[in-house]
Chains A and B, each alone.
Chain A
Amino acid sequence: MLQVDSVRFAYARDAVLDDVSFAVQRGTIVGVLGPNGSGKTTLLRLLAGIITPSSGRVTLDEVAVAAFGRRELARRIAVVPQETYATFDFTVLEIVLMGRYPHLGPFELEGASDLAIARDALAATGTVALADRLFSTLSGGEKQRVVIAAALAQSSDVLLLDEPTASLDVGYQLEIASVLGRLNRDRGTTMVVSSHDLNFAASICKELVLIRRGRVIARGPTADVLTREHVRALYDVDADIAFNARAGHVTVIPVAHAG
């Protein structure tokens, strides 16, 4: 449903992304993997229509993302940024209800159905008990789950998550992974997740796109793409890769720098 065709993007002269192509099928989770500064966030901003490609196309159901109005696009694609900082003391429920913005008219107030959708999103992310807490008082993992709930409340077809675990410790990383995995299983939510964390990506992604210096070096089903050669090419790291029966997915153990 989401399609990236030979996309090139440059903020200034040098291309941040060059000749990037891949497709996202409905109901899948695609991981965009790469080292820091490889262009992952830029790619997600392109998918979200925040920026437009210098050349090439990003399309949603055959229509260029750039052709959608902001409000219309927000009803189709929701974004979970790396970190969310609330300047004012919003409650968790207020933050989640903001997800209903693209569905309401300019002066329309949220009705019972919007509240029901918000409650449902809280339930799906295990944050019902936090509803009346102030967002600013939550832990990093709780905040991230609430922001995911707000994105769910947007009732979009696709969820884009930019490094959802980057600032979280390992406990919260696993917690977010299980929330995302469950959403995909139970609701069939389509997701594109950027990450530099190989194990996090391996645990939830069905397909991977590996990006280094703005170019795709490999893409395909996770088990096929996550190989020793690719990890070396991506991070200059020699790693042991094996199926972990207890985790239920491939795990990567970095062994040494392979410069």
Chain B
Amino acid sequence: MPGDIRGRMTVTLGGFGALLLAVMLVAPLAGTARISLARAFDRSQPFADNVDAQIFFIARLPRVVGAALVGGSLAAAGVVFQALLRNPLAAPETLGVSIGASVGAVLAITLLPDVAIGGISAVPLASFAGSLGALAVVYALATARSRGMSSTVLLLGGVVLTSFLGAMITLIQYLADFSQTFRTVRWLMGSLDVGSYSAIGAALVPLAIAAIGYATLPRALDLLSLGPEAAAARGVDVARAERVALVSASLSTGAAVSLSGPIGFVGIVVPHLVRLIVGAEHRLVLPASALFGAAFLIACDLVARTAFAPLELPVGIVTAMIGGPFFLWLLLRRPR
């Protein structure tokens, strides 16, 4: 069975792809107004008169697509960070990229509350810039030493950066006025209410670059997870692969956080769940995690907006409710 990689890839991608497609079609149907899938896709009446189609495509689908992009990006980034750092407990939050994005967003909310560039609010743009800034710091730190990237330096750098930037967020909130602080607190809770397709379109640019990077990585990640020297001895260009991995994972984390705010646990829970099903090989784990992460976050968001309707929970609470216990179970199952 393990030898037939072609067959396993087909089954895995087909299965997880079908799951995502099903969730994407079903999720927009749920909500306070009941709509039907058949009527939403009914082309016989004009779009302007088709209430079901309007609710499906304008009110709910952007949110579902946003959830898919954010969930898929965070899960894929989690897979890559775990292999890159050779640490199964690494996550998109680990290197400080996520909190860098938060600093950018909090700054924009506080200093540029009403600024928009090209129809897009300054908040996602500043948040994406913040993630790139954090990446630059981490990258400089990891490569400053001549002997290549050290995963220990990366991990420690991420921990230090995260607490440093956390303090900066607290400082900005402390100095800001009440309404701005309220907005930053809500932003930091994370929400998939992305609003429009244009925000999604803007996020697609860095995500597309990350996706190209991801496509070249799986086999190198398999080997890198055995250690950089072992990988080099098997013919991997380690420095290049690590650079592509770090930049791709950071771009997709930054794009995801700028779209939705920080949403925890997806990047760590999904890769592990997927590994339990498909095994360790990254050409299965990476795409399957992206697909499953997308489906998982759509489902969590569905729970968040329907469980206490009309009240809407921050989706991060739902991912934490599922992710926290799962994570503990994982730790108990494999003590390290």
Contacts and interface: CB of A to CB of B under 8 A. Distances in A.
A3 B86 CA distance: 35
Contact of B230 (A84, A91, A93, A107): A84
Interface residues of A, number: 38
Contacts of A95: 226
Interface stretch (B49-57, B169-177, B199-207, B233-241): B233-241
A87 B86 contact: yes
Interface stretch (A16-24, A67-75, A187-195, A217-225): A67-75
A35 interface: no
A90 B222 contact: yes
A52 to B, nearest CB: 13
B225 A88 contact: yes
Contacts of A72: 235
A98 B222 contact: yes
B83 A91 contact: no
Contacts of A236: none
Contacts of A154: 234
Contact of B227 (A77, A84, A110, A132): A84
A91 B225 contact: no
Given A50-B229, A88-B225, A101-B223, A109 B5 contact: yes
Contact of A88 (B6, B234, B236, B275): B275
B88 interface: yes
Interface in B73-130: 82-83, 86-88
B53 to A, nearest CB: 39
Contacts of B215: 107
B25 interface: no
A77 to B, nearest CB: 8
Contact of A50 (B222, B226, B232, B283): B232
Contacts of B3: 93, 97, 110, 115
Given A78-B233, A81-B227, A102-B234, A87 B83 contact: yes
A86 B226 contact: yes
B182 to A, nearest CB: 42
B279 interface: yes
Given A70-B232, A81-B227, A102-B235, A88 B5 contact: no
A90 B235 contact: no
Interface string B186-219: 0000000000000000000000000000011001
16 contacts: A48-B232, A50-B233, A71-B237, A73-B235, A87-B83, A87-B87, A90-B280, A93-B2, A97-B3, A98-B219, A98-B222, A99-B234, A101-B223, A101-B235, A109-B9, A110-B3
Interface of B: 1-3, 5-6, 9, 82-83, 86-88, 215-216, 219, 222-223, 225-227, 229-230, 232-237, 275, 279-281, 283
Interface of A: 45, 48, 50, 70-75, 77-79, 81, 84-91, 93-95, 97-99, 101-102, 104, 106-107, 109-110, 115, 131-132, 154
